[in-house]
Amino acid sequence: MTSKKDKFKNILDKNYIWPAKYPFKFIVLSEKVDLVKKKKINIEFEVKKSSNGKYSSISFEIIANSSQEIIDIYDKLKNIEGLISL
């Protein structure tokens, strides 16, 4: 049985030629933006708060050398409660 991660890796490998630019965008409660920063992704990202300030969008782009680099970033962030990947 193929895991979700394997399926995602296959999709990435079919749609990108490495190295490639890859955009990330997440939505999280504004109070949890610092948790994203603490995951040590070492990438500068843009943070925009929603009109009421409750949520923030986090955006950044990397030049990845492989699909595994992208998966590694998602893995670092997956344990932040309420984080939504777009």
Task: For 38-48, write each residue's pLDDT tens digit.
Answer: 776 777 888 99
Q: What are 61's two structure tokens?
A: 């782009």
Residue 58 parent element (H or E) = strand 55-64
> Which residue from 51, 49, 5 is spatially nearest to 27, judged by alpha carbons?
49
Q: Using 50, 70 and 90 to split pLDDT, how confident is the model at 1?
A: low
Please compute the mean of the pLDDT values over residues 10-30 and round it to a whole number. Answer: 94
Domains located in the chain, CATH noted = 19-85 (3.30.70.260)
Kindly report the pTM of this predicted structure: 0.84
User: Is the distance from CB of 67 to CB of 16 less than 8 angstroms?
Assistant: yes
Q: What percentage of the chain has pLDDT greater than the value 70?
A: 98
How many Å separate Cα 65 from the centre of its chain?
A: 16
Other CB atoms closer than 10 Å to residue 32's CB: what's the count?
16
Residue 22: which of 59, 51, 54 has the closest Cα?
59
